A and B are shown apart, each in its own frame.
Chain A
Amino acid sequence: MKKWQQRIRSLLMEQFSLPSDVVMEMPRITIIGHLHFYIENHQGLALYTNEELKLKVTNGFVSIKGHSFVLKMMLPKEIMLEGTISEVIFLNHEGEKED
């Protein structure tokens, strides 16, 4: 059932060129250099320290590592992080990495 839904969603995305974050319920992440990390549509905060921020998203977690982290803004589905970001890791996915 879930697979079928997923297939429909990708089809919609490709055929009607709808934005993927809306259709697939995926987070939209904006990173400005290594200074700012901005995430929309996350599912909750899992861990936050000065060196790491782990957020729950659809199908897994996003983990941001770096140092001197400050959460500049926390809204129901959005978080803005400030600090020095060194890596962004998607966990429980196919193991994708993004810097």
Chain B
Amino acid sequence: MKKQNPPSIRAYVTVRVKGVKPELFLQKCASKGIPIWDVKKIDAACCEATIMFKDLGALRKLRRNSLYKVSFAGQKGFPFFLSRLSRKKFLLAGIFTGFLFFFILSNLLWSVHITGVPKEIEEKIETELEAFGVYPGVWLFSLATPKDIQRQLLNEVPELLWTGVQLQGTSLQLEAVEKTIVEEIPPGEPRDLVATKKGVITNMYVSRGRAEVSVNDYVVPGKILVSGNLNTEEGEDNTETEEDPDKPIAAEAEVLANTWYEVHVTVPLQYQTEEITGNQKTKHYLRFGDVQLPFWGFKNPDYSHSQEERKEQPIHFLKWELPFSYVSSEISETEKTDEERSNEEAIKAGVEQAKIQLLNELGPEATVLSEKILHEHIEHGKVELVLYLSVEENIVKEELIIQGD
């Protein structure tokens, strides 16, 4: 037995049938295939029944050939509700503006909370944030990603050691840790200078302390280069003086040494370079699941080679993240060129690359004195090089002198 509940999502109407034996008219309708429910007999010549709105035409057709009169007693169902609602324009407008209001407000940044740093750095961070567009009242999807904010903050505010940026709903939680500049060894503490690498000393500039080595000496890591202990073995007789020269001092010196490195580099003979020409186009989309709906910038630029950078921002309503998000993609035109070089050129490039690589590791103070190709090997369109580089660099490391009392 199947029971048909009146589906309220669909439109249905209550009709009143008048005439002699109205149930017979309803039976006729039923045998024509019109589903009827909730039939009530009001009096001998009047019957009330409910039918689907879409069957009304069929009912009218049947009525035309009969003596019955059909009137409407009521309309129910969701579509009627909608049509009634659509007549109340102001109510609809009110609901719409209300939602719009909520929508706008829940996509604004309301507050920025900075924790973990003293007041003056907090203010510094605030001005810095304002400079790159993070302040209360700004659109959430025009905001840079927390990662970018973190990176920029660390770059711009040197006092910061670490920042944690988290977007919680409409407020930005920014946790920062101040850099406490701790010198590895407090200045003035007695110390020695030792070698960090093996090499041949080329130059020494000792401003304080006693040199233990001289130019052209070969040193190994850990070897004391400049001692803070001014006392030589034979200087024991000085201990009685009031100024206490016996006490070790903080040695200060720059010791340049010639060091050697073996560097392996691989250079392809054929290579591709990609350059951004400067032509670019930004497109804006509204993304819903897998569907992207462009709403600004419809045309695809006719770049033969391009590079696309996508930025995605979720859209919020109150505290919920809506299933669609705003996506902006920046398409930049690029130019690709295939280039080829000879073996000599490749080797030259390899040597340069090796130098740059090494200097990156050693810091700006180091200079490459000479380079020597130990081995070169061409295979599969690549040149493999083993280089021997001689570098002049500062090899000094400070080491505290531990004093026994």
Q: Which residues of A contact B (CB under 8 A)?
A: 30, 38, 44-45, 47-50, 69-76, 79-80
Give the chain B neighbours of A70 by CB distance below 8 A.
Answer: 38-40
Given known contacts A44-B31, A45-B23, A45-B26, A74 and B37 CB-to-CB distance under 8 angstroms? yes
Find out whether the CB atom of B39 lies under 8 angstroms from the CB atom of A74.
Answer: yes
Give Cα distance in the complex from A91 to B30, angstroms. 23
Closest-CB distance, A72 to chain B (whole angstroms): 6
Find out whether the CB atom of A80 lies under 8 angstroms from the CB atom of B39.
Answer: no
Find out whether the CB atom of A72 lies under 8 angstroms from the CB atom of B27.
Answer: no
Is B21 positioned at the interface, with any CB of A under 8 Å from its CB? yes
Give the chain A neighbours of B21 by CB distance below 8 A.
Answer: 47
Find out whether the CB atom of A76 lies under 8 angstroms from the CB atom of B37.
Answer: no
Beyond known contacts A45-B26, A72-B38: 19 more, CB 8 A cutoff: A44-B31, A45-B23, A45-B30, A48-B39, A50-B40, A69-B41, A70-B39, A71-B26, A71-B40, A73-B4, A73-B35, A74-B26, A74-B27, A74-B30, A74-B35, A74-B36, A74-B37, A75-B36, A80-B3
Is B44 positioned at the interface, with any CB of A under 8 Å from its CB? yes
Give Cα distance in the complex from A69 to B24, angstroms. 16
Partner of A72 from B3, B23, B24, B26 at Cβ < 8 Å: B3
Is B1 positioned at the interface, with any CB of A under 8 Å from its CB? yes
5 closest pairs, A vs B, by CB? A71-B39, A48-B23, A74-B36, A45-B27, A74-B30
Some 29 contacts from A to B, beta carbons below 8 A apart, are A30-B1, A38-B1, A45-B26, A45-B30, A47-B21, A47-B23, A48-B41, A48-B47, A49-B41, A69-B41, A70-B38, A70-B39, A70-B40, A71-B36, A71-B38, A71-B40, A71-B49, A73-B4, A73-B36, A73-B37, A74-B29, A74-B30, A74-B37, A74-B49, A75-B30, A75-B35, A75-B36, A76-B31, A80-B1
Give the chain B neighbours of A30 by CB distance below 8 A.
Answer: 1
Contact string, B14-54, partner A, CB cutoff 8 A, digits 1/0? 00000001011011011111011111110010010100000
Give the chain A neighbours of B33 by CB distance below 8 A.
Answer: 76
Give Cα distance in the complex from A72 to B38, angstroms. 4
Give the chain B neighbours of A45 by CB distance below 8 A.
Answer: 23-24, 26-27, 30
Determine the residue in chain B with the shortest Cβ distance to A69: B41
